[in-house]
Chain A
């Protein structure tokens, strides 16, 4: 348990005075994600500790450097978990990095994303001010919601030093079934399933097999599984972990990996390569050698957005380009937090 926020504040204040760009690094497990980092490294992983946790409040307040694995273990002891099932790309993954990258796992369509569980944040902005937004309560509309804005901002708006997260009870039971489905039928099938109140907590298609995870009481799961059919999957916990943490075979190949976000019922995109579906079709992982421009254009035409998740050109566009008006607003927003443009310069877009 160490509170280093005063040290960070001093460091940032000095960097601001020197106009020296800052590269925020937590567990350094996601250095592959986003554009090439620039600036002098500020290691923020040592700011650790659980500040407050009362299971009956369903809220935990943690310092940014707290290891995700430690946080998850503390919650599991109380029969609770993070509802957004964040991916972990290494043992050193920190909660600050989880929030800054804004990535959520297979449970996301059913229980929400990082931002949906982020109740409050303490940050240090580009004025070297320590600021608190949001809180520890479930509902809070006092002032603009600047804490949720931090989720997925890739550290470009400031350093998150502390966060309060909503936590959820672990399901009583969770089990997974699978069945073989032809690729051309799966999108429609998933869409139909999602229109019904099945207690899903995962719906994934690996190109051949549809996997569905059910949660709740044993009776509820039994009833749903009988209706849905398929075979039960053994070791399903490891299966979902390997999908979430990208340790399964699909993710091992050396080829640019794209994360594609579209409306779930969108027909398969005409992009070469191999893909698989998560989030009931709303998230698509694509391994492809197609040109970045072609991927971005195809996905934009389908109404979605693409991210060059791993590999490929890391100094080009990694996130989908924004229309001019929207880019200008994002630039002004960045400026509102970090007027000298020092935090994680260019990590998200070349423009800021």
Chain B
């Protein structure tokens, strides 16, 4: 459906499209400016396809200097700008504006430098996540964060969203793997944040920039940390009769002092869909399965595999399989990695949530999700980064049935509120974007939101970078956010972080 930006979040300007395009043409070639409806249409949404907005215009710069000039021009006229990488984001973070520029960094797609002695790569923002690991593999290195969309998603987008992935349990999120960022700010200045070493002087701006959803600046060059490829990898698949047991097994592995490279859980609905889609050999009658990947030196991995295998059996797994070789590992992972498209095959539409909770509440939250699903009359399939407590409930619905999207959204909101009540957060790795902007009113007090707005203003006083995303105005919260969880929990025993 067409998205309506909230009136309090809209940035108005008076410049006419034709005049603006004429000015742009003195900066970038005409073929790098898209203004025709059929050219604009492909940019109307990102990975959150439920909401669309055809952009005012699209620019496709090829150099950092061009981006700087574009930003200066936009700044001069007060024209809002939305930056976009590959458009794979799941929260509508790069949803365009009807009166703003959509700035695609897709053409800045070069790996500028691979510095093997320092184990870093300097890349342009349009470089695909997987392309880095592919390029440095011959040096025995890889770039660790691996969102499921890593074939397509770009580093620029990863920085904006602080993307995670299956292996971040051990190797960290984007924020842990970025050392230095060149950023163009709202007024067109180019600043370099972070350092050549492991830290930089002054405030830790790379930490602040990562995950700021393109609202504080546009990353135009990123120096990422590279990690030596592990010597050995083993993958275990454990089958459980109840979801609660699987949840307890996750806590048990962590409690035993083991940090798996990945620890993923799928419930029955997801297992069936994935099995149907890729034929990974999953047990379709299982209530839940866990995939546990262990990596490191040969000796360590052998010892840990033995230990985890025993633990899983002790913790109630009715079957534990060990992938015999890299091919079987790939097959076992294929089902997990294809979980979203697999659900897409069994349902006309699905709505993916991203709440994160303390692991100990896994069982309770899953039960609650199940109750809510019944109450709303919609099916929910669960797949999650269990080791991190990061849930991805997929709400199945049909957008062609009037009212179903709204119902799915309401169910989603209820799930997020449950996550916040359990001491968790509304989004672990997908970002707030437009999708969860109302839920932000539930997670943060107005004083906290005020602090966010002041930080935003420190970088972008006119508010032209990605308006209407991630941080709700107090007006919006007054209108939609009548569900403030925090004021209630602040006085209770419930830890509110």
Contact = CB atoms under 8 A, between A and B. Distances in A.
B298 interface: yes
B189 interface: yes
Interface stretch (B45-53, B104-112, B204-212, B267-275): B204-212
Nearest to A154: B203
Given A140-B425, A219-B299, A223-B299, A170 B204 contact: no
A152 B120 contact: no
A148 B424 contact: no
Nearest to B447: A129
Given A140-B425, A146-B208, A57 B497 contact: no
B116 interface: yes
Given A129-B447, A142-B427, A217-B303, A329 B191 contact: yes
Contact of B198 (A125, A199, A279): A279
Contacts of A143: 432, 440, 443-444, 448, 452, 470-471
Contact of A102 (B173, B204, B447): B204
Nearest to A169: B257
A141 interface: yes
- B425, B436, B457, most chain A CB atoms within 10 A: B425
A319 B425 contact: no
A195 B141 contact: yes
Contacts of B495: 51-52, 61, 136
Contacts of B496: 132
A263 B118 contact: yes
B398 to A, nearest CB: 29
A172 B193 CA distance: 37
B161 interface: yes
Contacts of A52: 495
A150 to B, nearest CB: 9
Most chain A beta carbons < 10 A, residue from B162, B202, B212, B452: B202
17 contacts: A135-B497, A137-B390, A137-B423, A141-B432, A145-B175, A146-B208, A148-B175, A152-B204, A172-B257, A195-B116, A195-B139, A217-B303, A265-B118, A322-B201, A325-B191, A326-B191, A332-B458
A124 B229 CA distance: 43
A120 B497 contact: yes
- Of B203, B297, B458, most A-chain CB atoms within 10 Å: B203
B29 interface: no
Contacts of B117: 188, 191, 195, 264-265
Contact of B497 (A61, A283, A322, A335): A61
B195 A304 contact: yes
Nearest to A172: B257
B356 A56 contact: no
Interface in B148-204: 161-162, 164, 168-169, 172-173, 175-176, 185, 189-193, 195-204
A268 B448 CA distance: 46
A336 B119 CA distance: 36
Contacts of A141: 161-162, 211, 425, 427-432
A333 B360 contact: no
A319 B203 CA distance: 11
B207 A220 contact: no
Given A149-B204, A195-B141, A261-B195, A139 B390 contact: yes
A134 B356 CA distance: 12
A151 B258 CA distance: 27
Interface residues of B, number: 100
B388 interface: yes
A312 interface: no
Contacts of A266: 196
B425 A135 contact: yes
Interface of A: 51-52, 54-59, 61, 79, 102, 108-109, 112-113, 115-116, 119-120, 122, 125, 127, 129-146, 148-149, 151-153, 157, 164, 168-170, 172, 188, 191, 194-199, 216-217, 219-220, 222-224, 261-266, 279, 282-283, 302-305, 307, 319-320, 322-323, 325-327, 329-330, 332-333, 335-337, 348-349
User: Interface centre among B185, B299, B432, by most A CB within 10 Å?
Assistant: B299
A191 B470 CA distance: 40
A209 B359 CA distance: 44
Contacts of B471: 143-144
B17 interface: no
A137 B389 contact: yes
Nearest to B416: A142
A131 B296 CA distance: 40
Given A139-B390, A336-B458, 8 more contacts: A54-B360, A113-B199, A135-B356, A137-B423, A149-B208, A172-B257, A195-B141, A326-B202
Nearest to A122: B497
Given A131-B447, A139-B388, A145 B207 contact: yes
A304 B196 contact: yes
Given A55-B255, A141-B428, A149-B207, A319 B202 contact: yes
A138 B497 contact: no
B119 A56 contact: no
Contacts of A261: 195, 197-200
Contact of B201 (A51, A172, A319, A336): A319
B207 A79 contact: no
B21 interface: no
Contact of A151 (B119, B198, B204): B204
A135 B205 CA distance: 19
B369 to A, nearest CB: 17
Contacts of A139: 164, 168, 173, 356, 385, 388-390, 425, 428-429
A81 to B, nearest CB: 11
A143 B389 CA distance: 19
B377 interface: no
